[in-house]
Amino acid sequence: MAEKEWYAFDVKARKKVRIINPQFVQLKNGRWAVTGQSEETGIKVFRFLSKEEVEKYVLKK
């Protein structure tokens, strides 16, 4: 099964990059995000998810 490719903004590279090893995390305030490493620089990047994305990818029923 092919996973969705996630993209996030890399502050160091100053552009949108693909996330390597994406993982879903829930923040302290209850919001969901995708975290992983930047393909360009290797730093940790986050991408917040919308409610529709959470229902589709995280809370699969």
Distance CA(24)–CA(13), nearest Å, equals 23
pLDDT tens track for 6-21 = 999 999 999 999 999 9
The answer to whether residue 2 is domain-embedded is no
* Domain, as residue range, for 51: 7-58
- Band of the pLDDT at 61, cuts 50, 70, 90? low
- Band of the pLDDT at 53, cuts 50, 70, 90? very high
Share of the chain above pLDDT 90, in %: 87
47 in Cβ contact with 34 (< 8 Å): yes
The answer to whether residue 17 is domain-embedded is yes
The answer to whether residue 14 is domain-embedded is yes
The answer to whether residue 1 is domain-embedded is no
Nearest to 3 by CA among 20, 26, 15, 25: 20
Distance CA(51)–CA(22), nearest Å, equals 18
Our count of domains for the chain comes to: 1
Q: How far is CA 51 from CA 11, 25, 31, in A?
A: 25, 14, 9
